[in-house]
Chain A
């Protein structure tokens, strides 16, 4: 058995699942849509069904140990309200069970989720975060139970922290959802103090995204995955300055890099790219921290040769320059453009292994869906 990470094909959005062999699960953002076949023949991947197969249950209730909302934008939290349980876990009833609502063991958000003008799903996250915070602040022992735990990543509006609630940049987290993990520790890079303030000033939540380095441990091997929401090149410049100033270059290394903002040019320079075609030094430098054989994942629509952003074609070219086309994975076309499959990596003592999506066998396909109409159908006159 190996640890596993899954980047779901959700268009321009993030929905990442991490599963450790010790039974721990974590989700980084969500983008849960109804499965359907679009007019162009492409199929919307059924994230929820897959999650139900992947997640563990407690008393028949599905749960994920950790849910991280990098920032409260719809492309990072779509489907939260309908698919995750919000409320006292003790009140989880038959209806919730029927709806297969997922209990979040521990919730990580940023201060930005507490602003008011958010989408429905982000509002639901805010309400749930507030419920958990109230429980914590009231000193209720239930606050440290599965379904009630919460941490805010970064600082509050006043650049302050509250003991027991905030995890600030530079923190290395080993205990999540009440468990000390042997297969994972999480190094928090951002949001940084200054970025939160800038975010308020510029009304830009992207730059206040959570940026973290997941250290996935398999025996002697530690594989590093960078997940960074929609952070831009300014954020990365700050992160690198700080880490290098602290001689903590190890915190910048990566084996898998989830291209920020769905492969946006904003990682390489300001947008639009045509006005800012040069790659800033910080972006080049960050890519140099790639370990041998590293991969980049673009959780985005199919990247085409046009001016769209995100995903941005020139950004893809830059990434490929670093890791080769073979190691650059676009979720929209993995396993076929019409019916994309999650980009999956396994982690073990040999490092990361990209697991190619195989076609289903005939039997699975036939039994997994209804057959076309058969027989002599008489069209009504």
Chain B
């Protein structure tokens, strides 16, 4: 086995007090504090390098797994210009080689003390800490625990050159292949695997699977074939040389030898690595070996081929020929896994999700969320958006200047497909979601095939369409994510998988949550001057001034939580509010209530069950008298839906056994406040009152008069009004509409 030898004995001995480098002196000082453990025994100098020799006392177990002794002699090597950790060598002549966390095979054995980067720890690097780490290296190595059981195996080879290869292409049978520079900037360091026809250089290529190797010392870029020939076998013992000589001794090749004057040999080697001799292979390291010399030069210069009358004559392989070939330079290239959907998930410590999802809205938030999810290997996507990317969008959008003028869905789909090297990952649909397009076959197919429809259009209209107007046969759950007007809060309304809690109902409970949470009372405010006009054609061509970093923060939260929301079966209402000064996030969450639907006078009246319970409690409190209050909700005139989810009570109401007169004190004030904090999204929808026990909830003559009164007063607004009468067990809901 080849090994590099350094003859430390040949270097000049110096007194410890003659060490010049501050770092070396620091080590001497640090060792002196624990002289029973670190015994400095000498020093040497060679060129611009100083060597400190120590005997280190090891906590050796009674029965060491690896042959580490109670006292080990080491040398610590200091360079005048410190660019890396001091090298540490174990000096014992029989110190074991090839054990985990040792570097290149050499004597004295070179220990790999830390996996950290020197640049990263330089500011806090101390001799005492490093000495401690050296001792821990020995302590743990003695117990065979330096390389943790759950730690990934060491690579077989570390080289500066690499070939970017997709996992899929390695898993398939590769027969004829070649290499090509990754791009014009990658120089001679980064390549990609291509077919032999695509490669600029000609190769005789061969893939081999080596016999399993116990991981351990990392082998650094060997310049000739001999090291690999000594240390790697395949097919239970065949060497790389035998493989190469088979090629060189091929009669077909030799007879056409001159046509191989520009052809090199390229091996693709799979090396199964195992943790110990007794274990099975855990992973496969793959790398490429390329002969730098051409096939003809190798054969001719080594004396294997001599020119004959027709082509070349193959001579027997002599030791000299073998030696010549083994000493020829080779190029080693490790494999670098290409960025793919599955690799993206792995890099993010996430589980890959290959389900299809539909994203509606590829705007600022949508594009950034999609970007983050794709980079984490989450989802395959259909992206729906009909908008064009304009210059002002670049302030917050994931796309760049090159995409200005493109449809946003098209742009992000192209971008994501390019990112993950998969043209089928994102499919764009350049359409708007509206009452007209909601029955579009392409959109319906997308909805039907998706696991979730994620609406990031930030449009209430789209949300209502998704909640109510999509073909009932499509059962796909819908999730709506949007920002508040200042862009400092992210809201996610998620339907349950059974779609009991539909988006429109969740929207209503979101308003109630805002009203009953004082910290959210400015949630929907929009400051003056917060809008920007991006074109002068229309008063609607406005964009809101939102900080790009806030959008990014909200997008990050959305990308973090959406996978778990999608995988959960439950409905939820969630708000994340960013504190502008500390940038911390306050989380508000609500488990949605159920709703009861009543049909009356052509309207569907949805009453939140939480409100019904509250009304019943209020009724009980006033028994045997009547009580009541104002109903708060929202009216969707287009869909003839009335949502009722809250109530306002008056302090000066008259609660009698036979009647109830709702007072007026503070009612309007409370209502206006409610409207204010919900940015006018809620409205007055009617009144409720109770009937005593034993009385029906059918409207009395007084009730009918009240309903008429209310209806007449709502007539100018063109809005219906609701009266609810609650008894002990029953609830009557009547809708009054002005004719």
Contact = CB atoms under 8 A, between A and B. Distances in A.
Q: Are A and B a genuine interacting pair, yes or no?
A: yes
Interface of A: 221, 223, 255, 291-294, 326, 335-336, 348, 350-356, 358-359, 361
Contacts of B57: 356
Interface stretch (B31-39, B341-349, B437-445, B524-532): B31-39
A255 B61 CA distance: 12
Contacts of A336: 36
A38 to B, nearest CB: 21
Nearest to A327: B70
A336 B132 CA distance: 18
A348 B59 CA distance: 13
A133 B693 CA distance: 72
A4 to B, nearest CB: 13
Contact of B61 (A326, A353, A358, A359): A353
A358 B59 CA distance: 11
Given A358-B34, A359-B33, A359-B34, A353 B59 contact: yes
Given A326-B70, A359-B33, A354 B59 contact: yes
A21 to B, nearest CB: 16
Given A356-B57, A358-B132, A350 B62 contact: yes
A226 to B, nearest CB: 15
Contacts of B431: none
6 contacts: A255-B62, A292-B62, A293-B63, A356-B57, A358-B34, A358-B37
Contacts of B132: 358
Most chain B beta-carbon neighbours within 10 Å: one of A223, A255, A292, A351: A351
Contacts of A352: 61-62
B718 interface: no
B61 A350 contact: yes
A353 B36 contact: no
Contacts of B59: 353-356
Given A326-B70, A358-B132, A361-B128, A348 B36 contact: no
* Interface SS of A by simple majority: strand
A351 B33 contact: no
A381 to B, nearest CB: 41
Given A326-B70, A356-B37, A358-B34, A293 B62 contact: yes
B60 A353 contact: yes
A352 B61 CA distance: 6
A356 B143 contact: no
A358 B133 CA distance: 13
A350 B37 contact: no
A188 to B, nearest CB: 25
Contacts of B33: 359
Given A255-B62, A326-B70, A352-B61, 9 more contacts: A293-B63, A350-B62, A350-B64, A350-B143, A353-B62, A353-B143, A354-B59, A358-B132, A361-B128
Nearest to B30: A359
Nearest to B143: A350
Contacts of A350: 61-65, 142-143
A359 B135 CA distance: 14
Nearest to A362: B128
A104 B61 CA distance: 32
A96 to B, nearest CB: 38
Interface string B63-82: 11100001000000000000
A351 B61 CA distance: 6
Interface string B25-49: 0000000011011000000000000
Contacts of A294: 62
A356 B63 contact: no
B557 to A, nearest CB: 38
B347 to A, nearest CB: 32
Contacts of A335: 36
A351 B34 CA distance: 26
Contacts of A291: 62
A47 B208 CA distance: 64
Nearest to B64: A350
Interface string B242-284: 0000000000000000000000000000000000000000000
A221 B143 CA distance: 14
Nearest to A360: B33
Contacts of B128: 361
Q: Which 8 A-B pairs have the closest CB atoms?
A: A351-B62, A350-B61, A293-B62, A353-B61, A351-B63, A352-B62, A359-B34, A350-B63
A335 B142 CA distance: 22
B67 to A, nearest CB: 13
Contacts of B37: 356, 358
Contacts of B70: 326
A335 B62 CA distance: 20
Contacts of A348: 61, 143
